Chains A and B, each alone.
Chain A
Amino acid sequence: MSPVSRMEAEVRRVLEEPQPSVPPELFTEAVRRGGRMLRRRTAARRLMWLLLLVAAVALVVWLSAAQPWVEPPSETTPPLTGW
């Protein structure tokens, strides 16, 4: 056995030694917090879609009302001279 691998085995042994107990409420607490995260994500996604929808509707309404692609009527006409 090389010195390096003996050292590694020794370190592994030291690391394995003390076994902490798992708290009983770990699972329920994780599910509670994870579920909250999921619900928040869902709410945020819904809000985003809602905002997107509102923006799209507003754009359509504005387009149909203002019709910005129509050339505005000319306000300056060249003066009629020599008629």
Chain B
Amino acid sequence: MRERQASRNARRAREFEAFVAGAAGRLMHAATLLTAEPPDDNPRARRLLTAVLAHTYAGWDRLHGEDPYDRTRQYMAVRFARGAWHEYGGLGRAYPRIRPHPGGVLRRLTPQERLILVLRMYEGVAEEQAAALLGLPTERVRAICARAMATLLHPPREAAAPVAKVVPS
């Protein structure tokens, strides 16, 4: 019993190490894009990825032939969406209340825009899958993705947060 447990632990660690060696670079990049941190200073992305990989490791024996990369990516999206709620006060706000980050190519986007853009354009997840994962209608995912792409390619002139201004009537 104990011996079988030990051999299973060793096998899990071996397989997981191979998985991390192959996938960590890409996952790290995705996490850094999500948190909108500069690539050389990304403590939040590291924390996110460590927690997500720990979850993958804990569920390794129950994958049942599923792709671990897919699982990890899904959990990262869900965890980021949940974390954004706490840290930013909702998915819609562009800047965190706690501390702003100067770097990152996606710094002008809201966390939700970043999440959808990374899922769709960087990871190549289908629109329907991304919508199902986040619990949004497909049209909404398409609209958010289009807006995020437009903001990324044609950033607004001023560096201020894209908060909707109250138009005086």
Distance between B92 CB and nearest chain A CB, rounded to angstroms: 21
Pick from A11, A17, A33: contact of B54, CB below 8 A.
Answer: A33
Contacts of A32 in B (CB 8 A): 54
Contacts of A22 in B (CB 8 A): 24-25, 28
Distance between B56 CB and nearest chain A CB, rounded to angstroms: 7
Q: Could you write out 27 A-B pairs with CB less than 8 Å apart?
A: A8-B121, A8-B149, A11-B121, A11-B149, A11-B152, A14-B105, A15-B121, A15-B122, A17-B105, A19-B29, A19-B39, A20-B28, A20-B29, A20-B45, A26-B20, A27-B53, A29-B54, A30-B20, A30-B50, A30-B54, A31-B54, A31-B57, A33-B50, A33-B51, A34-B55, A37-B58, A38-B57
Contacts of A41 in B (CB 8 A): 58
Is B25's CB under 8 angstroms from A19's CB? yes
Inter-chain CA distance A21–B25, complex, in Å, is 7
B interface residue count range (under 10 / 10 to 19 / 20 to 34 / 35 or more): 35 or more
Distance between B108 CB and nearest chain A CB, rounded to angstroms: 12
Chain A positions within 8 Å of B, measured between CB atoms, are 7-8, 10-12, 14-23, 26-27, 29-35, 37-38, 41
Contacts of B153 in A (CB 8 A): 7, 10-11, 14
Chain B positions within 8 Å of A, measured between CB atoms, are 13, 16-17, 20-21, 24-25, 28-29, 32-33, 38-40, 42, 45-46, 49-51, 53-58, 60, 105, 117-118, 121-122, 149, 152-153
Distance between B146 CB and nearest chain A CB, rounded to angstroms: 9
Pick from B32, B50, B60, B149: contact of A29, CB below 8 A.
Answer: B50
